Amino acid sequence: MLVANLVHLKTMPGMFGFELFQQVSELLDVPCNLKEVINEHLLSCHVLLQDSIPVGRFAIYKNDLLRFQGESAICIGAYECIDDDFVAAELLTSAVDLCKDLGAKNIIGPMHGSTWNRYRFKTSNKDNSFFLDVNNPEYYNKQFLQSGFSEIGQYCSNLDADLKCDSEQLASFKLHFEKKGAIVRNIDMNNLEQELYSIADFCNHAFANNFLFSPIKPKLFVSKYMALGALMDPKFIWIVEDDKAEIHSVCFVVKDVTDPTGKTLIIKTVATKIGSPFRGISTYLCRSLIQLAKNLGYERIVHALIKVDNLSMQASAKFGNTYCKYSLYGKSLK
């Protein structure tokens, strides 16, 4: 009886049914950025109707450069569903079957095609959100686990509300890196587009060994960050170069525009070139940010969306405590 009331509908932007796909977000009152949902990796959008009411949705993404455990993987993204185990099982069974038909070896979700787009579910502290944070009903995690997915990645955001800084030690670090030839400068907002193209190339190399990495086209990278242009403050965005103007490290920080006190900064990205002679420069940049933030009257710094077992986590663990947790899921079809 329940099965008869469920209807699966395949759609795409501009096609019949896409408005129903969008209505799922409205029904659940969750944010939806269509610019992230609709990207180069999107294959198809799917919505589940119960008695003609949209109750769940997902999208299928195929990124030919994405690898998991050395094999190809297809992504499930744009996932939203009501809090109903039966509906969720129907929705995710349909998604898995579609991925099988596409010849996938592995499924990863939630992910909008690559780690350059939105991915992961928040698993804790849903009320502690910040600008650019992941927001979802926590029961989504249970729905994926009950459908045979398992956790393949753990992430966290750390909050530093102490902002402790040893000025003498920081001055010593500054001298150390200057002697090694590191040149620390702020991003040039008057030449922002070209700066972003250089950073895009740097990031594609610096992140090459990261979990689930796939390169991003520089034009897309620039488009994403140009959209944040109005929110960029150059004094919080640092580029480290050598004497040949080659980028070795980047620290990209934005204000938390959702904080009504205006006293919070968010470290969105800290990256250092693989094999750079400026070992420890990321930690130095984080410590420099603390000093600057305190001097300017800020009270909190969020180290956002870090993979638990990578080098960024090791650096961030020195500053603050875990604030929010997130998970990414996978399922083998072999």
CATH number of the domain enclosing 72: 3.40.630.30
Question: Cα-Cα-Cα-Cα dihedral of 290, 292, 297, 298, to 10°?
Answer: -40
Do 107 and 171 lie in a common domain? no
The whole-number pLDDT of residue 32 equals 83
Output the CA–CA distances (angstroms, integers) from residue 58 to 12, 277, 291, 303, in the order listed: 11, 44, 44, 29
**Neighbour tally for 100: CB within 10 Å:** 12
Q: Where residue 310 falls among pLDDT bands split at 50, 70, 90?
A: low
| 259, pLDDT greater than 50 | yes
Do 97 and 127 lie in a common domain? yes
Of 132, 155, 178, at which residue does a domain stop?
Answer: 155
How far is C-alpha 138 from the chain's CA centre? 17
Instruction: Render pLDDT for 5-37 as a digit per residue (tens, 0 to 9).
Output: 899 999 999 999 999 999 999 999 888 888 889
Do 82 and 177 lie in a common domain? no
Q: Which long-range contacts (CB under 8 A, 24 or more apart) does 172-180 make?
A: 173/280, 173/284, 173/287, 174/284, 174/288, 177/240, 177/278, 177/281, 177/284, 180/277, 180/278
Do 150 and 281 lie in a common domain? no
User: Which amino acid, 33?
Assistant: N
**Which backbone phi and psi does 285 adopt, to 5 degrees?**
-65, -40
Instruction: Render pLDDT for 22-78 as a digit per residue (tens, 0 to 9).
Output: 999 999 988 888 888 999 999 999 999 999 999 999 999 999 999 999 999 999 999
| 153, pLDDT greater than 60 | yes
When divided into structural domains, the chain yields a total of 2
- Note the pTM of the prediction, 2 decimals: 0.93
Do 98 and 53 lie in a common domain? yes
Full domain range(s) for residue 201 = 162-298
